[in-house]
């Protein structure tokens, strides 16, 4: 039994990040109505976690400026978690005020990326998270720790796995119930991803490790499979492969949810997610954005419909 989700080893918890990580880098402002519709569609598709916003400075991430309004308006479904990013106490207080029940804090394994992304060193970022974790524990809110640039940094290049493992261990000790490994620039390959899981599992229990791959070099699905083979059972993905990072030049979108679900279905894994519903949701949001989905499965479905 997998302690991270209370279900059997064939179950993979797919965490949808399209409405936050997927939209935060869009150049055009996505209206609140569209975000709410997107989140509710994803929840109805059976995704157990739908990241719904980020309580960060609107100066730096203007696309997330309406996160309070989004949380006030979404119809929350039983059994679905709606996490939000809260990098400091100010963001945490804003999130709690609108009923957020799971928050995320995010550090980087690269000093340069940390300074570019959060305007502080790695050590300073951890000090910001301590009061957030303590306050969350007091009110019964779970905290997930995200670590970015775990397999490479756009400024520093390859990252020492020992640094990643140490950082993950510190976040776990601080109170993060799960630590998610983010290949922010999408440079990882399956063998490096699998080796990193082995290294991080020395400091964090395996069932408390999640993965978050970007698909810059087309390796996200292969990397995910390699980590599943190591026993990881929590994976982030983004509908239609939306995403990117304003502080990682050249980074492509996230692993597409449609592609991940198709692979997991083919492996006989359990997700509880309706692939057709996710594909329809992808068509909805990419249609609004005015572009084709990055998901190969979505493209195949569209071709069949056209035929």
At 242-299, the pLDDT tens digits run 986 655 555 568 999 999 999 999 999 999 999 999 999 999 999 999 988 999 999 9
Task: Give the pLDDT confidence score for residue 2 in this predicted structure.
Answer: 44
pTM tops 0.85, yes or no:
yes
Count the Cβ atoms, other than its own, within 10 Å of residue 178: 23
Judge whether 245 counts as a catalytic residue.
yes
Average pLDDT, the chain: 94
Catalytic residue, candidates 133, 168, 176, 245: 245
Higher local confidence (pLDDT), 115 or 134:
134
pLDDT at 17 over 50: yes
- Structural domains of the chain, with CATH: 13-306 (3.20.20.70)
For residue range 174-233, list pLDDT tens digits in order: 999 999 999 999 999 999 999 999 999 999 999 999 999 999 999 999 999 999 999 999
Q: Is the dihedral of CA 226, 231, 236, 238 positive or negative?
A: positive
Rounded Cα distance, 296 and 293, in Å = 8
Task: Give the pLDDT confidence score for residue 46 in this predicted structure.
Answer: 98
- In the sheet that holds 234-237, the strands lie side by side as 49-50, 13-16, 234-237, 209-213, 178-183, 142-148, 102-108, 84-85, 53-54
- And the tokens for 253? 């979108």
pLDDT at 141 over 80: yes
Average pLDDT value for residue range 129-158: 96
- DSSP letter (8 states) at residue 148: E
């Amino acid at each position: 039994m997998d302690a991270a989700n209370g279900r059997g080893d064939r179950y993979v918890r797919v965490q949808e990040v399209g409405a936050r990580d997927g939209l935060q880098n869009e150049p055009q402002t996505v209206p609140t109505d569209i975000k709410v519709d997107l989140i509710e569609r994803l929840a109805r598709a059976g995704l157990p976690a739908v990241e719904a916003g980020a309580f960060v400075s609107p100066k730096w991430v203007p696309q997330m400026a309406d996160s309070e309004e989004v949380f006030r308006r979404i119809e929350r479904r039983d059994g679905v978690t709606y996490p939000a990013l809260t990098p400091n106490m100010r963001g945490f207080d804003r999130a709690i005020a609108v009923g957020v029940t799971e928050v995320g804090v995010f550090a980087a394994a690269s000093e340069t990326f940390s300074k570019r992304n959060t305007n502080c060193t790695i050590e300073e970022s951890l000090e910001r998270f301590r009061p957030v974790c303590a306050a969350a524990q007091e009110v019964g809110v779970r905290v997930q720790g995200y670590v970015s640039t775990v397999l490479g940094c756009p400024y520093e290049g390859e990252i020492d796995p020992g640094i990643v493992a140490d950082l993950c261990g510190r976040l776990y000790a601080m109170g993060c119930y799960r630590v998610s490994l983010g290949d922010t620039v999408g440079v990882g390959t399956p063998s490096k991803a699998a080796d990193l899981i082995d290294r991080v599992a020395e400091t964090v229990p395996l069932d408390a490790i999640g993965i978050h791959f970007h698909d810059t070099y087309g390796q996200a699905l292969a990397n995910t499979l390699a980590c599943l083979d190591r026993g990881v059972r929590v994976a982030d993905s983004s509908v239609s492969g939306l995403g990117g990072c304003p502080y990682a030049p050249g980074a492509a979108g996230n692993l597409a949810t449609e592609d991940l679900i198709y692979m997991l279905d083919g492996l006989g894994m359990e997700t509880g997610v309706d692939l057709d519903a996710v594909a329809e949701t992808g068509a909805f949001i990419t249609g609004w954005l005015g572009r084709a989905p990055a998901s190969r499965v979505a493209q195949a479905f569209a071709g069949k419909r056209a035929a």
